Amino acid sequence: MRVSSFFLPLFATSIVGQLYASNATTKNHAQRPNIVFILTDDQDVHLHSLDYLPLVKKHLRDQGTSFTNHYCTVNVTDVGPPYGGYPKFISQGLNDNWLPVWLQSHGYNTYYTGKLFNSHNITNYNSPFVNGFTSSDFLLDPYTYYYKTPAFQHNKDPPVVSNGSYTTDLTAEKTFALLEEAAESDKPFFLVSAPIAPHANGRLPFSAPVPADRHKDLFKDLKLPRTNNFNPDVPSGASWVKRLDKQNESVVEYNDEFYRKRLRSLQAVDELVDGLFERLERLNLLDNTYIIYSSDNGFHIGQHRLPPGKSCAYEEDINVPLIIRGPGVSPNSTTNIVTTHTDLAPTILKMIGAPTRPDFDGSPIPIHTDELTSSKRRQAQEHVNVEYWGLGIGEGTFSGDKVPNNTYKSVRVIGADGAYSLSYTVWCEGDHELYDLLADPAGTGED
């Protein structure tokens, strides 16, 4: 695959910031727009996580456009698709040829905090340092997914492990500090905030996410959506999925609590979003800033009898949030045009008025009201390619000891205005799956 895919995954208020606000804002408003990207980790659409984020709704869904047919193309947490983590990213010479480097060449300051790559760790972070950022504060392995012992590495300083600090709150603090720094410059900026929520906690086999203490008692009676494909009586899916046993009551109860902890962990992200918008407004940057909200991949819990995880080609895993707010973007709007993570880098370059690149797999997403109401509406783009190479790793107590071969290639085909909706997957071991998702939205094979 050529360069692009995602853009190789993205990603306390001071009086000083207020002193700079008026001057910095005037300069930023006279230039090209700023871009803020909020990238969560493993956030679902089909388990309705967005319904439990009132501040995301207030600032983004109600004031921007939601793209309901947005898909990831490699559904595994922030591997740096299509490259496979930081060491391979470096070995292939991509450190000098990716989105933040391109943005800097077009006159932008660039900032990043949170999770960047898998295998970006406390021993290789400086071998070499990541290129392309004016300032950065990266989460590093092996502490990346420990909610209360994160390790952050600022610019070229050594990593600092923060025992007892909640990772999303630290990510929020660092996001706000980078925003204040960006506002002081006369250059437009690109800022990524990449909290780990609602990813599972720790390391393999992972445990449920850990919420902030202030959120630990929320949603006590909430249960997973009991959709047609939830723990079905008749096996569904293909390959190793079809061989899964029906989950007993103890497993279902565990999965319900895993689900509640995911939603609880997202509440700190909701607060991060609120704090970000408060500062954008105070700094008078909001009207000239695009804000993008998405996730690296989706998530399943109990569908097709699966334990918690994200590596299958089912809608729960590959259909992910995408919300965009900014200049010329319709508020409180929804579109069903087909988009993928491969389209994000081209879209960001279009936002800043930069030309597209011949090595892109994707193309710019129409985000403005006039584009979305025009006759074109990307009707020629109706398919999404999804692939996974490697083992299928479940999460949580009941994920099991077996680690199956999960290699497959899949294609989603969605007709203009919903005329048809098909999912076709070929597994490495030879099984094929074909679903008409208009007749069988849950993909159970019982249409």
9 is a domain residue? no
Q: Which whole-number Å values give the CA distances from 134 to 69, 169, 329, 354, in the listed order?
A: 33, 22, 28, 19
Question: Which residue blocks in 322-430 are alpha helix, DSSP H?
Answer: 344-351, 369-372
Q: Which whole-number Å values give the CA distances from 47 to 43, 206, 320, 339, 405, in the listed order?
A: 9, 20, 11, 20, 25
* CATH number of the domain within which 319 lies: 3.40.720.10
pTM, to two decimals: 0.92
b (16+ CB within 10 A) / e for 340-369: bbbbbbbbbbbbbebeeeeebbbbbbbbee
Across the range 370-387, mean pLDDT stands at: 76
77 is a domain residue? yes
What pLDDT, in 10s, does the model give residues 390-445?
888 889 998 877 788 999 999 999 998 788 999 999 999 999 999 999 999 999 98
166 is a domain residue? yes
Q: Minimal CA–CA distance to 43: which of 115, 93, 92, 119?
A: 115
Across the range 322-339, mean pLDDT stands at: 96
Cα Rg of the chain (Å, integer): 21
235 is a domain residue? yes
Domain tally for the chain?
A: 1
CB–CB of 395/202 below 8 Å? no
419 is a domain residue? no
431 is a domain residue? no
418 is a domain residue? no
- How many angstroms separate the CA atoms of 221 and 211, rounded? 16
Instruction: State the average pLDDT for the chain.
Output: 90
Which domain, by its residues, includes 201? 15-379
- In this predicted structure, what is the pLDDT of residue 196? 98
185 is a domain residue? yes
- The structure tokens 């030309």 sit at 355
Q: Taking the alpha carbons of 181, 183, 189, 195 in that order, is the dihedral positive or negative?
A: positive
**Quick one: 30 exposed, middle or buried, by C-beta within 10 A (0-12, 13-18, 19+)?**
exposed
What pLDDT, in 10s, does the model give residues 131-171?
999 999 999 999 999 999 999 999 999 999 999 999 999 99
Question: Which residue blocks in 13-153 are alpha helix, DSSP H?
Answer: 15-29, 54-56, 86-91, 99-105
Q: Which whole-number Å values give the CA distances from 61 to 278, 309, 432, in the listed order?
A: 16, 26, 37
The larger pLDDT score, comparing residue 409 to residue 9, is at 409
